[in-house]
Structures are given as structure tokens and as C-alpha cells.
Amino acid sequence: MSYKITPKLMVFAISLIISLPSSWSHDPIFGMGPHVLYKGGVEVSLETNLAKAADEKMSELGLNLTYGITGDWAMGIELPYLKKDNGITDANGSGDVKLFTKYRFWRKDSLGVQESAAILLKIKLDNADTNDSPTLSSGATDSIFGLAYGYESRKWYRWASIRYRQNGENSVGLRRGDKVLLDFAGGIRFKMTKYTKPDTVWLLELNGELGQRNELNGVELANTGGDQWFISPGIFWTKRNFAIKAGVQIPIASNLNGNQDDADYRAS
């Protein structure tokens, strides 16, 4: 099944965001956190991602829908619209749909503090709009498995997570290397406010990507895979059930295999 996502649909979603509760706003921006929706809750969010490495640029506009099955279990769907430019050619269109579910298996509440942990499963389907833009999809179905811990108090936040991305093989025998994603994040609220007032939390994350080499018909490709680390300042601003989050990933260490361009920046 193919889902056609257009910019008009993304803009329409903005009118829904204001009136719907925000559940994962108290998670880090680039990493994974343990927060889930309450039972029967619905969240609609609009997300923009940007990335640049030398002449290659990517922008993504995504519509995310989440539903709370129980107070500890949520599931949802991500509908992306992509634009890619490598300096010679450019492509744009609907990207691969992602399905996800998160289950919070542990929660501990104490005076002014909540700690919790959750597991995540995300599936990236192979159904992008590739009639005119084959580069918008990897041509394979990929899976992400994750484990996250979170600590939240009135002033301080901290998170840690690990995710494993298992990539599939496409029709020509190309399999992109699997990745381990490591994320550590902290947050601070300098000014305590009431629920009805605007609230700001400042974030700082350390994000690591440890990638294996790609394989073509079982043979490893030299100029693929490797490790990258980013320092990522960010902010999330909330007013009641409306939230805005923003952050930028700044590369601080890179050990990519062979001849590959290092990331210049990423933003969300």
C-alpha cells in the first residue's frame, strides 16, 4: 500500500496540533525517551528535519500520528515528504512510511520525580513514491529496536537510550550496514512555572552513530560505514498541551570508512 503525502496535507495538520495533547514533548529531540500517551490519547505533530554533508542536502517534512492503547503502550505512524539534492540532481516526493510502537515497562514515582523505562519497535516500510525519484527510498524494509531510560523532576531531566537499526536488502542485493545509535541527554528548567503558563526547558544531547559497512551480494563495500558523534543543543517550549521543540546536531568526531563526506550539520 502506498501513502501519498503532500505539502498541503502537512499544513492542514498544523490546525490539529494546537488542540491535541502532547505526550512525547518531554523526550529528547534526537534520542529516544520513555514517555508514552495516556489511554485513548491522540497526538498529532509536524516535524521538519534538515541534513547537509558536503554537496548532499536532505530536508524532510513529516506528519506523525500517535495513539495511546493503554497508559503504558502507544503506537503510531510517521508519514514523510522528502527532498534530496546531491549538487547534480534533486528529487522530492513521499518517503517510506514508518510504523512504531513503544511500551513503558517500568515506572517509579517519588516526591517531585518520575523515573521510567521503555522499549521501542519501529518498522520502515518500502513504499516511497519512487516513480520519478528512486533515491527517495532505500528499496528495503528496515527495523529499529530501542531501549530508553528517563528521569524527570521539576528542574532536571536526563535520558539514556540505545537503538539498533537492522537494515534490509533491496532488489539488487544491496544491504546498507546496520547501525547502533547511542544517546545521552540532559535538560534543565531555569524558571518554574504553573501549568497554564509558558514553560521552557533547555537541552543538551550527545548522539553517537556506529555503523557497519554496506554489502552488495554479501561483499563489503569500502567507502561505507563508520562512526560519528554529535553534540546537540536544543530547546522545548510548552504551553499547556501545545509544544514546540528544536535542536541542531553539531559533529564533534568522525571515523568514517574510506572516502566519505563528514556531516556538516543536522537539525530538527
DSSP 239: E
Region 40-61: mean pLDDT is 94
Measured torsion, CA atoms of residues 85, 4, 60, 185, in degrees rounded to the nearest 10: -150
DSSP 3-state assignment of 135? helix
Q: Which domains does the chain have, with CATH numbers?
A: 7-267 (2.40.160.40)
pLDDT in tens, 240-256: 888 999 999 999 999 99
pLDDT at position 241 is 84
Residue 23 has pLDDT above 50, yes or no: no
Residue 15 has pLDDT above 50, yes or no: no
Region 249-266: mean pLDDT is 96
Residues pairing with 246 in the sheet? 235
- Burial class, 83, CB count within 10 angstroms (exposed 0-12 / middle 13-18 / buried 19+): middle
C-alpha distances in Å from residue 59, one per residue of 49, 64, 139, 192, 224: 6, 16, 19, 35, 22
Residue 231 has pLDDT above 90, yes or no: yes
Region 19-41: mean pLDDT is 79
pLDDT in tens, 159-214: 999 999 999 999 899 999 999 999 999 999 999 888 788 999 999 999 999 999 99
Rounded to an integer, what distance in angstroms lies between the CA atom of residue 156 and that of residue 134?
A: 45
- Categorize the per-residue pLDDT at 21 as very low, low, confident or very high, splitting at 50, 70 and 90: very low
pLDDT at position 159 is 98
Nearest one of 39, 6, 44 to 24, comparing CA atoms: 44
Nearest one of 183, 143, 185, 150 to 164, comparing CA atoms: 143
Region 39-43: mean pLDDT is 94
pLDDT at position 130 is 65
